[in-house]
């Protein structure tokens, strides 16, 4: 028996050693995963689907601050026209919810006039110093992407409105609970015990109600500790301090450090509840009877009062680090990229440009001296090309990265009028909606910042004669303003009439063995290829339809 008792300490030590070995193995495995994922397309990573499922939460930070952003940010029309949600997913190699939220917000605010020199130093560091980058990624993953945490910006921006009311009542109930507990111990009187039980039930009920109402904010509080811890790590190590620290951030971290410790202790139990730990759930309700969480929550709220500025500064600081690692990974994942050069005129010059969402892109050069009209057959690549121009203008001014070999452009405001649809609920017609889209571009031209606008099939929602006249008037007006306009159109007649004012480009197509083929190469000039009828034929429409269509077209009926 004594021998067996002697084995207990050995077993405990062996269990601890085995636990440490498993922990190291898991850490090594996670490190290998991070190494493999750096430079990988995020759309091909295991959590790509989950990212789309939590998209409403990702938007919370942007929606909270959008009214504070400048008026020349990317508006929702342009964002949707350019499929920027998908572009965001392609760029989102972030490791924390903070990185995701700040990346989404940053893509809405292009600013080619900012100083990107420190940004480039940081991206170079991420690429060359793998060991240090992996340490950062590990800590960012520690902040994590729990669904509740995405509400932290709402909490920080509205902390003064999120205090639990009737704090004095909870204090009285706590004192009554303590008095009832002592009274039941010393007197053991049935009425005292009954009063204690009733008090406990009332407390538990009030706690459950408060938890239901404030739970998401209680859980999101835990991220503050990790925010402070990550920031402290970056400013305390000399190799990081030079690249990342600034006086404002250092001051913010020092102010928030005591509160981070308090919240960390509070959060340990909350994490256990979220993961379904039975002991932590029981402990949570035991503490709920004491109303401790409610009073502590209000205490934290008082500590937060006046420190929202520091917290948001630290939030954005951590987000920028996460975005930087994502940008460095994106650069490694694409066929080629360049750092854009920002100019003072309204000219754009792109060499071997491509759209970041294309897996096998065709590269095109683009260096117009003035506004442009792009013609071409259906599905020849016009819309994709003008989207590529606008998307690269956005990521060039936000992530200092363009999908091209060379990129020169001014610090444009980017706007579009492309994916117009009828709005059945509002009763607004296609044409009316299209006119509103174009009007907002006209309004933006009055502002100081030059506008880069891309327009797909201008005024297609009205009859041919009026469309031609109105389109010509709008395009002549744009030519006089401080902007670069790139307009895709089927109207080769319009392109021919304006060829003296606008540079003309086109995409071509060819018919081979009853199939329409495209090379997606941008050419100078005006395209005259029409393929609407050939597409009907290649897709197997009834022969009678194809024959009649050709006959009507030959007779001059404007079907295409």
List helix spans (H) across 188-246: 190-220, 222-236, 238-244
Can you tell me the distance from the alpha carbon of 418 to that of 423, in angstroms, rounded to the nearest whole number? 15
Can you tell me the distance from the alpha carbon of 393 to that of 395, in angstroms, rounded to the nearest whole number? 6
> Quick one: CA torsion of 25, 29, 35, 41, rounded to 10 degrees?
-170
Letter string b/e over residues 118-138, b meaning 16 or more CB atoms within 10 A of that residue's CB: ebeebbebbbeeeeebbebbe
Can you tell me the distance from the alpha carbon of 368 to that of 459, in angstroms, rounded to the nearest whole number? 24
CA distances from residue 112 to 71, 77, 149, 398, 414 in whole angstroms, order as listed: 16, 21, 31, 7, 12
| Strands across the sheet containing 364-366 | 341-342, 406-409, 349-353, 364-366
Give the pLDDT confidence score for residue 311 in this predicted structure.
85
Q: ∠36-40-44 over CA atoms, to 5°?
A: 110
List helix spans (H) across 38-160: 48-53, 55-58, 60-65, 76-81, 84-91, 97-106, 117-128, 130-143, 152-157
CB 560 within 8 A of CB 535: no
Q: How many CB atoms lie within 10 A of CB 262?
A: 16
Can you tell me the distance from the alpha carbon of 266 to that of 297, in angstroms, rounded to the nearest whole number? 9
pTM of the model: 0.83
Q: Which of 457, 445, 466 is nearest to 486 (CA)?
A: 457
CB 111 within 8 A of CB 329: no
Tokens representing 91 are 């760029």
- 162-169 long-range CB contacts below 8 Å, 24 or more apart? 162/214, 162/217, 162/301, 163/298, 163/301, 164/210, 164/214, 164/294, 164/297, 164/298, 167/295, 167/298
Give the pLDDT confidence score for residue 559 in this predicted structure.
40
Enumerate residues 6+ apart whose C-beta is below 8 A from 375.
382, 488, 489, 490, 491, 492, 495, 504, 505, 506, 507, 526, 527
Letter string b/e over residues 393-430, b meaning 16 or more CB atoms within 10 A of that residue's CB: bbbbbbbbbbbbbbbbbbbbbbbbbbebeeeeeeeeee
Give the pLDDT confidence score for residue 547 in this predicted structure.
75
CB 166 within 8 A of CB 297: no
Tokens representing 282 are 């029981």
Q: How many CB atoms lie within 10 A of CB 26?
A: 10
Query: Quick one: CA dihedral 99, 102, 107, 110, positive or negative?
Result: negative
- Angle of the 278-290 helix axis to the 167-187 helix axis, nearest 10: 100
Between strands 483-488 and 503-512, the pairing is unpaired
Q: Which of 294, 11, 46, 356 is nearest to 168 (CA)?
A: 294
Q: Which of 102, 73, 98 is nearest to 88 (CA)?
A: 102
Largest distance between two CA atoms of the chain = 108
Between strands 451-456 and 364-366, the pairing is unpaired
Which residue ranges of the chain lie beneath pLDDT 50? Answer: 424-425, 557-560
Burial grade of 65 (CB within 10 A; 0-12, 13-18, 19 or more) = middle
- Domains (range + CATH), the chain: 150-324 (no CATH), 341-529 (3.40.50.300)
List helix spans (H) across 291-427: 292-304, 308-333, 382-398
Enumerate residues 6+ apart whose C-beta is below 8 A from 407.
338, 339, 340, 341, 349, 350, 351, 353, 392, 396
Give the pLDDT confidence score for residue 128 in this predicted structure.
92
> Which H/E stretch holds residue 369?
none
Q: Which of 330, 261, 294 is nearest to 107 (CA)?
A: 330
Give the pLDDT confidence score for residue 560 in this predicted structure.
40
């Amino acid at each position: 028996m004594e021998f067996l008792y002697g084995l207990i300490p050995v077993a405990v030590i062996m269990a601890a050693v085995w636990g440490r070995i498993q922990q190291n193995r898991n850490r090594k495995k996670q490190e290998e995963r991070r190494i493999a994922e750096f430079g990988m397309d995020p759309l091909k990573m295991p959590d790509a689907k989950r990212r789309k499922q939590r998209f409403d939460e990702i938007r919370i930070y942007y929606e909270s601050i959008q009214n504070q952003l400048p008026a020349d940010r990317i508006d929702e029309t342009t964002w949707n026209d350019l499929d920027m949600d998908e572009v965001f997913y392609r760029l989102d190699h972030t490791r924390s919810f903070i990185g995701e939220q700040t990346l989404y917000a940053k893509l809405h605010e292009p600013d080619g006039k900012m100083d990107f020199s420190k940004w480039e130093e940081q991206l170079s560091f991420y690429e060359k110093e793998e060991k240090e980058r992996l340490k950062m990624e590990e800590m960012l993953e520690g902040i994590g992407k729990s669904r509740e945490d995405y509400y932290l910006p709402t909490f920080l921006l509205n902390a003064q409105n999120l205090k639990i009311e009737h704090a004095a009542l909870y204090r009285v109930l706590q004192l009554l609970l303590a008095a009832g507990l002592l009274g039941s111990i010393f007197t053991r009187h049935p009425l005292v015990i009954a009063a204690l039980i009733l008090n406990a039930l009332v407390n538990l009920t009030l706690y459950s109600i408060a938890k239901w109402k404030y739970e998401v904010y209680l859980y999101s509080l835990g991220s503050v500790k990790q925010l402070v811890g990550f920031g402290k790590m970056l400013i305390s190590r000399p190799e990081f301090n030079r690249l990342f620290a600034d006086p404002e951030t250092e001051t913010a971290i020092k102010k928030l450090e005591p509160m981070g410790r308090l919240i960390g202790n509070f959060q340990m139990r909350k994490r256990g509840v979220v993961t379904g730990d039975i002991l932590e759930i029981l402990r949570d309700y035991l503490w709920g009877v004491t109303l401790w969480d409610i009073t502590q929550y209000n205490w934290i709220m008082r500590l937060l009062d006046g420190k929202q500025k520091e917290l948001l500064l630290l939030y954005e600081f951590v987000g920028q680090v996460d975005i930087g690692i994502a940008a460095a990974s994106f650069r490694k994942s694409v066929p080629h990229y360049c750092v854009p050069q920002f100019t003072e005129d309204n000219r754009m010059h792109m060499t071997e440009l491509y759209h970041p969402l294309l897996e096998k892109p065709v590269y095109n050069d683009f260096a117009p001296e003035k506004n442009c009209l792009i013609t071409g057959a259906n599905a020849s690549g016009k819309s994709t090309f003008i989207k590529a121009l606008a998307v690269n203008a956005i990521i060039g001014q936000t992530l200092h990265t363009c999908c091209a070999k060379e990129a020169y452009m001014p610090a444009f405001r980017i706007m579009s009028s492309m994916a117009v649809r009828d709005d059945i609920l509002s009763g607004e017609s296609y044409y009316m909606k299209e006119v509103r889209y174009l009007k907002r571009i006209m309004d933006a031209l009055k502002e100081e910042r030059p506008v880069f606008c891309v327009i797909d099939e201008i005024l297609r929602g009205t009859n041919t004669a009026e469309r031609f006249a109105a389109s010509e008037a709008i395009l002549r007006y744009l030519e006089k303003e401080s902007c670069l306009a790139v307009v895709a159109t089927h109207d080769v007649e319009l392109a021919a009439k304006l060829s003296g004012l606008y540079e003309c480009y086109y995409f071509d197509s060819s018919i081979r063995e009853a199939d329409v083929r495209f090379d997606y190469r941008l050419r100078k000039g005006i395209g005259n290829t029409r393929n609407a009828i050939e597409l009907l034929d290649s897709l197997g429409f009834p022969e009678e339809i194809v024959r009649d269509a050709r006959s009507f077209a030959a007779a001059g009926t404007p079907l295409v």
